[in-house]
A and B are shown apart, each in its own frame.
Chain A
């Protein structure tokens, strides 16, 4: 970020700053601590606004499973407050600083919500957007708007809280978010199968996720990726999170159910926590500094064929999370590689994000699939409904919007 970044200390200040940018028609880049700046198209803006100084937990009611905090609150602060009451963030948002660089401070709640990035638990218990109960935000005209609330069930009016989640600061600047949380499990364990190829690995993950034993994460690390997570050969991993006295039964039954895929090992609590943190933060990917990084999301059964297509196209480093449906992928930052990623996702009926590349490359290619024309019309109209002059993070998601 540059010297022109305005970082007000309260919501009213943020609203005033955006209102004056609206009046002047000045485009603004929107940040928290800019830890995910490399994710998305580069923003061409004369000014910048940051929510990083809006900090502090505003509500935490453990018995009601709800926490609210201002957008600039570091995620770590929220996680620590939850841990003190034996609770945690359900979607397990990743810390991508190893991939993206350190930013200008710790990852914030606002950034995690605005980017809707979720970790391994997403396959079982939902994404960030599934647990955002309410938001406060400032739209592109400088008006403070609220949506949702602090209760777990709410269908009053249009769900703008979900629309703003993942909208990357292009519709409104989040000032506060309220999340559903859950008790953190007493014990974590991992059932691990070795030496499977992608097809057999995904089949094992599907069998585990389709079992009644409560698998909360399911990942497959191919031969090349497994050593980066401290494992030798290709590893197919299924996580169980439960009360301590339930875990031995669950892991034993799960191993039995997966017997046709080979003998299973069980990793204990500490090894499992470290392993899944590594998977969450995409460390097994092993992207070289100059590599582009993508995420491809497909239905799990299509993943092996997508992996095959990608490996034939370029020297693809990859591993699979979300039961096989999420392919973390690194490779050369070339238009050929990018075209291959887009084609593989499209042919599997899925989608992709370009997660990281240098600014020139990010400006040159579509960092996510183009929308069909009817949807592109709605995108433009909804953008205008929040930000009539197009001043918030212009071009961040789609060129020209």
Chain B
């Protein structure tokens, strides 16, 4: 189990006074302090760790967020920012002596401009909510994390969320034009806006993916894009993982950038097929789902080229969708992957590392060896074009020994990703989950530099103090 910082007894002792002060600043109706109502905030999508916070504030305006943060800063009270609480790395996990400040009640769409291809929204708007606001006109917001029905844009900014379509459309950072952020000192700063490329330091780039270490984002301006004329998928089964990997390399080298290029290994294929009955080939060792966009004729041309490339790798199955319904059928199993794994195992850890795509065969082989060593099963889904690997480690949460082994296996897999030239996290963030592995990827000078930047924003180390940086050195540098 990961260690947490000791709660400050002086803060715990002042709980009632703190709650009263927060109610004064954010409105009584926006502050939660009753034990039963605090319970839902004790964890997020990383449910293995739980901690009921001191209080939860759900402000309705940037000004209220600023007033609460200024108060917490003056009083030396720790703060944990929260959006929808869907983090898979414990990004929203509270502390006993911390105030959770959530943006869920700030959920208005403030402006849509098709002419300037942007949407300005409050940070509690859901990811899908942005697309819903513009899809009637044929536009969409590109990053599409699996949690997009629930997750909020504030959380997407905090984790620099991606999704299955980043190979073509990029991640959150590439689709952001501006944010309004409140610092722990209660200063409201507006960064970027409706235009491109603000001179000076790239605050927008620094804040994206900063996991609530630098401030609380309350308003976001994103780019919206006109959707392509249409999209269609194909499914290809291969006799071996390294053959599928070679096909991926050939596709990219051919000059085709598919809008999605998803890989599943055999355990994952079987779990998804049993759950979703998508018609996946059970004899395949690996499967690719490849999606292309364009006019109907362009889709045909691209799918023909992809078929020819895959044919060089002796595919066991090739299925090309002829229409949107058949595409949806191909995606059905992949989209159900997490639910499907949940059905064959009481619990699973969804890992998130990145490797150079060329290292896929070695990664698969060594993950298999590691899993056998720990006596656990692993199913793999992989955003193959961009190297983002999601090993799902199956375990039983009622058996502490099983959980302990799952955590150790997960850590070993992430160290393997770094060893192969990749990184600890592609889109879920470090949170608490990967905090103690940071030294596997960064040297002391690298981490010290990051800590000094954190301290420039948060001199007292009050914002999300138990995350991202290994605890022993968190407050130093």
Contact = CB atoms under 8 A, between A and B. Distances in A.
Interface of A: 61-66, 85-86, 116, 118, 122-123, 126-127, 129-130, 139, 143-147, 149-160, 162-163, 165-167, 171, 182-184, 186, 203, 206, 209-212, 214, 243, 245-246, 249, 297-302, 322, 325-326, 349-353, 368-369, 371-372, 374-375, 377-379, 381-382, 384-386, 397-398
Nearest to A388: B452
Contacts of B429: 155
Interface string B204-215: 011011100110
B115 A157 contact: no
Contacts of B34: none
Given A86-B255, A368-B199, A374-B183, A210 B205 contact: no
B200 A368 contact: yes
Nearest to A202: B115
Contacts of A377: 187
B195 A151 contact: no
A158 B172 CA distance: 15
Contact of A159 (B206, B227, B248): B206
Contact of B113 (A184, A186, A299, A378): A299
A123 B387 contact: no
Contacts of B445: 143-145
Nearest to A215: B226
A147 B446 contact: yes
B339 interface: no
A61 B428 CA distance: 26
B117 interface: yes
Given A154-B426, A156-B425, A385-B449, 16 more contacts: A63-B249, A65-B252, A116-B202, A149-B354, A150-B356, A154-B425, A158-B468, A246-B301, A298-B195, A299-B195, A300-B116, A301-B113, A352-B199, A368-B200, A379-B201, A385-B456
B430 A156 contact: yes
B174 A126 contact: yes
A349 B193 contact: yes
A159 B196 contact: no
A368 B197 CA distance: 12
A153 B171 contact: yes
A95 B376 CA distance: 55
Nearest to B417: A151
A155 B427 contact: yes
Interface string B195-238: 11111111101101110011000000000001111000000000
Contact of A153 (B195, B202, B427): B427
Contacts of A153: 162, 166, 171, 354, 383, 386-388, 426-427
Interface of B: 113-118, 138-139, 159-160, 162, 166-167, 170-171, 173-174, 183, 187-191, 193-203, 205-206, 208-210, 213-214, 226-229, 248-250, 252-257, 294-295, 297-298, 301, 354-358, 383, 385-388, 421-430, 434, 438, 441-443, 445-447, 449-450, 452-457, 468
A300 B113 CA distance: 11
Given A163-B206, A300-B116, A385-B455, A151 B355 contact: yes
Of B115, B188, B254, B388, chain A has the most CB atoms within 10 Å of the CB of: B115
Contact of A382 (B191, B194, B453): B453
23 contacts: A63-B249, A64-B387, A129-B202, A129-B205, A130-B170, A130-B173, A145-B445, A145-B446, A145-B449, A154-B423, A154-B425, A155-B209, A158-B454, A159-B173, A162-B202, A162-B205, A163-B206, A163-B453, A166-B202, A167-B202, A183-B255, A302-B194, A382-B456
Contact of A381 (B170, B229, B387, B456): B456
Of A143, A155, A166, A210, chain B has the most CB atoms within 10 Å of the CB of: A155
A386 B455 CA distance: 12
A122 B113 CA distance: 19
B423 A64 contact: no
Contacts of A243: 255, 301
Contacts of B228: 212, 214
B149 to A, nearest CB: 21
A245 B427 contact: no
B199 A126 contact: no
B116 A155 contact: no
A122 B295 CA distance: 24
B179 to A, nearest CB: 12
B201 A210 contact: no
A160 B301 CA distance: 41
A211 B171 CA distance: 22
A156 B441 contact: yes
A126 B209 contact: no
Contacts of A61: 356, 358
B203 A375 contact: yes
A152 B387 contact: yes
B421 A297 contact: no
A127 B226 CA distance: 19
Contact of A349 (B194, B455, B456): B194
A21 to B, nearest CB: 18
Of B173, B199, B430, B441, chain A has the most CB atoms within 10 Å of the CB of: B199
A211 B226 contact: yes
B118 A299 contact: yes
Given A157-B442, A162-B205, A212 B197 contact: no
- In the A-B complex, the 9 residue pairs with the closest CB atoms: A162-B205, A299-B194, A381-B456, A183-B255, A385-B452, A374-B187, A63-B249, A153-B426, A152-B386
A157 B450 CA distance: 8
Of B190, B203, B388, chain A has the most CB atoms within 10 Å of the CB of: B203
A383 to B, nearest CB: 8
Contacts of A375: 189, 191, 200, 203
Contact of A155 (B253, B255, B295, B428): B428
Contacts of B441: 149, 156-157
Contacts of A382: 201, 453, 456
Contact of A322 (B196, B297, B454): B196
B252 A298 contact: no
B213 A397 contact: no
Contacts of B252: 62-65, 183
A157 B430 contact: yes
A64 B261 CA distance: 13
B13 to A, nearest CB: 32
